Copies of this chain bind each other. A is one copy, B any other.
């Protein structure tokens, strides 16, 4: 059964998944790289965040890696928000093809939710970007149909994750809490009161200082 999953979504203690302002130079605003240092230290990351990555720069293989690499296992499609795909204004640049170079680490159909759709872009390595204006449920149905029976990843950012959680479309979420207080940016938790009612939740702290939280649906949806 194809499930809808979120992985490696990293938030500050105060619940921000990005700082501000987002820009081409600072995609996470004033948060800089602080949300993802835990991930950069993993073997998952030195392999390019990508099971097809060639370079082997070492990296930790403990609990941070074990969680991180699940991002790459078993997916047939990704859905992401417009603000993950590019910095503010990318919609006005006909040549923008995402942050990730010619061979993005998705290797599947990848659906970008945007109110400014454009024709699909076929990249190297199996990634094709499709641009979609649709409700979360309709976008998920489209991505599911393209996923060949594998799972669909909701790749972020926080606005899109929140919308999919609020629409009750997420089967599993892996969240990473970093012990910093960002103070401003985009919040994950707004509008999700009592989210815990639908999930079994586990927490495990890592020697790196982050805490991994997993949310697994009590009654797995069959859509």
Contact = CB atoms under 8 A, between A and B. Distances in A.
Contacts of A189: 13-15, 181, 183
Contact of A193 (B183, B187, B201): B183
A61 to B, nearest CB: 20
A65 interface: no
B179 A201 contact: yes
Interface in A169-193: 177, 179-184, 187, 189-193
Number of copies of this protein chain within its complex = 2
Given A15-B14, A15-B15, A203 B193 contact: no
A209 interface: yes
Contacts of A180: 194, 196
Contacts of A177: 177, 203, 211
B179 A203 contact: yes
B204 A209 contact: no
Nearest to A192: B181
Residues of A in contact with B, size category: 20 to 34
A220 interface: no
A210 interface: yes
A209 B205 contact: no
B194 A201 contact: no
Contacts of A205: 203-205, 211
A213 interface: yes
Contacts of A193: 181-184
A189 B15 CA distance: 10
24 contacts: A13-B15, A13-B189, A13-B213, A14-B15, A15-B15, A177-B203, A177-B211, A179-B196, A179-B201, A179-B203, A180-B194, A181-B189, A181-B193, A181-B194, A181-B195, A181-B196, A183-B191, A183-B192, A183-B193, A202-B209, A203-B209, A203-B210, A205-B205, A205-B211
